[in-house]
Amino acid sequence: MTDPMQSLGHSERQKHAGGDHELARRLAAAGIRELGIHACAVSPITIWLFVQLRTEAGRVGTGEATLPGQETAVVAQLRRLAAPLAGVPAAVDEIRPAGQNPAAGALAAATAAGAIDQALWDLQGQAAGRPLAGMLGTARRDDVAVYANINRRTRDRSPDGFVASAKAALAQGFDAIKVAPFDEVRNRSAAAADQLRSAGEGLARIAAVRAALAPDMRLMVDCHWRFSPAAAAALITELAALGVWWLECPVPEIEDDIDAVRGLRRLANDRRMVLAGCETMIGVGGFRPWIEAQAYDVVMPDVKHVGGLGDLLLIDELAGAHGIELAPHNPSGPVAHAVSVHMSTLLEGFLILEQQFDESPRFAGIVDGALPTADGRAVPPRGHGLGVRLKPSDVQAWQDRGA
């Protein structure tokens, strides 16, 4: 099979921006015959969305395009990008309500392109008889540190429910736990005092989880952009008293507010806490203002949304030049997890990788190939390319009808 990118030297990576023309060239060069779109509804809020590219020789490459709430938009973008192929699905079953906005935004387009990029690298690794990471660089580590995101596992949103999920993760060997506890904070424009009052139940959940962890275990808190800068500043004091190590996405990430975020970083650092964000940024251009301003201690590129694996390596270079670490965002299904583990072995500024813990038993059940995690460490799947394959008979929702 023809190499989709020929080389991944620095100059070549700079040329690769995930644009439509470049993606079309790579699809043609790889001899792609058809695109398959598959989905798996695993919880009331999560649908894993997968892409498969089949070559004229019958080889199959796999990628993941999960983007909760925007599945219709992502599928529309996938069909658009693959329109020149003979085997584009003529119809796809709808899962989300018909009222979902089908308009494709920048994140949906980047996610579709990212899934195709993953699948192309998977195919290239299979053809070369090498693991996916080996096609993009030289591994800096054999395994990677991972933390357990217990949010979607936790259906019981009481403090006891969070503690039960945390203890389940601890029993599986994780020593870093992330919670997203602020369900009741919904009005970003409310006064800071009102936001903090709304955060009371979330703080109780954090306190309960902290009490369940050993003193040396790391507790991480994701705010999902729910607070104003003033409320976030007050929240940092509360979280520091609870022994929180990591604060993620406290405020909406608007470039006009970069200075405010940088101020929150200083407050957090003064209290021995790190500030993390940028999980939905696209490409080097999306990350550059935040990295160059040193707004965060840690940025969180996502292999699904960043626009391409080459872009992820460029972001690693840029972050390293400014002393900022990387902790890839990875709250998704087994394919994105496998890609993220592969890529985390390559990143110079790697800190820790997210893993969506125990949202569904289908995480391991719908793929052939192991996704081993033990003692808070993950190793890349063995084999050529990605090292895992979907089990088509087990992927039951949103199947192609016209491929």
**Mean local confidence (pLDDT), 152-179:** 97
Backbone angles phi, psi at 313, to 5 degrees: -70, -35
CATH number assigned to the domain comprising residue 303: 3.20.20.120
pLDDT of residue 181: 98
**Mean local confidence (pLDDT), 111-136:** 97
Q: Assess whether 115 and 171 both reside in one domain.
A: no
DSSP 21-34: HHHHHHHHHTTEEE
Q: Is residue 403 part of a domain?
A: no
pLDDT of residue 393: 65
**Mean local confidence (pLDDT), 340-351:** 98
pLDDT of residue 173: 96
SS3 182: coil
230: exposed, middle or buried (C-beta count within 10 Å: 0-12, 13-18, 19+)? middle
Q: Assess whether 69 and 167 both reside in one domain.
A: no
Range of the domain at 97: 10-130
Q: Which of 280, 293, 281 is nearest to 324 (CA)?
A: 293
> Pick from 130, 152, 186: which residue ends a domain?
130
Strands 218-222 vs 246-248: parallel, antiparallel or unpaired:
parallel
pLDDT of residue 20: 84
Q: Is residue 395 part of a domain?
A: no
pLDDT of 332 > 50? The answer is: yes
What type of residue sits at position 46? T
Q: Assess whether 379 and 317 both reside in one domain.
A: yes
CATH number assigned to the domain comprising residue 102: 3.30.390.10
**Mean local confidence (pLDDT), 203-213:** 98
Q: Is residue 65 part of a domain?
A: yes
The whole-angstrom separation of Cα 401 and Cα 403 is 6
The whole-angstrom separation of Cα 367 and Cα 395 is 10
The whole-angstrom separation of Cα 30 and Cα 258 is 41
Q: Assess whether 269 and 200 both reside in one domain.
A: yes
pLDDT of residue 399: 45
> Pick from 97, 130, 163: which residue ends a domain?
130
Q: Give the lowest-confidence range in 80-89, 165-174, 343-352.
A: 80-89
DSSP 34-84: EEEEEEEE-SSS-EEEEEEEEETTS-EEEEE---TT-HHHHHHHHHHHTTT
What is the number of structural domains in the chain? 2
The whole-angstrom separation of Cα 322 and Cα 319 is 5
Q: Give the lowest-confidence range in 138-147, 165-174, 315-324, 392-401.
A: 392-401
Q: Is residue 402 part of a domain?
A: no
Other beta carbons within 10 Å of 171:
8
pLDDT of residue 87: 57
Model confidence pLDDT, tens digit, residues 138-152: 999 999 999 999 999
pLDDT of residue 395: 55
**Mean local confidence (pLDDT), 125-136:** 97
Q: Assess whether 163 and 306 both reside in one domain.
A: yes
Q: Is residue 157 part of a domain?
A: yes
Give the confidence band of 394 by pLDDT, cuts at 50, 70, 90: low
The whole-angstrom separation of Cα 124 and Cα 4 is 7
Q: What single DSSP character describes residue 394? A: G
- The pTM for the full model equals 0.91
Q: Is residue 368 part of a domain?
A: yes
Model confidence pLDDT, tens digit, residues 232-267: 999 999 999 999 999 999 999 999 999 999 999 999
Q: Assess whether 105 and 254 both reside in one domain.
A: no
Q: Assess whether 121 and 157 both reside in one domain.
A: no
Which two structure tokens, joined as six digits, stand for 141? 């580590």
Q: Is residue 138 part of a domain?
A: no
The whole-angstrom separation of Cα 71 and Cα 345 is 29
Whether residue 245 contacts residue 218, with contact meaning beta carbons closer than 8 Å, is answered with yes
Number of H helices, E strands in the chain: 14, 15
Model confidence pLDDT, tens digit, residues 45-93: 899 999 999 999 999 999 999 999 999 999 999 999 988 786 555 444 4
By percentage, how much of the chain surpasses pLDDT 70? 88
Q: Assess whether 55 and 180 both reside in one domain.
A: no
Q: Assess whether 174 and 287 both reside in one domain.
A: yes
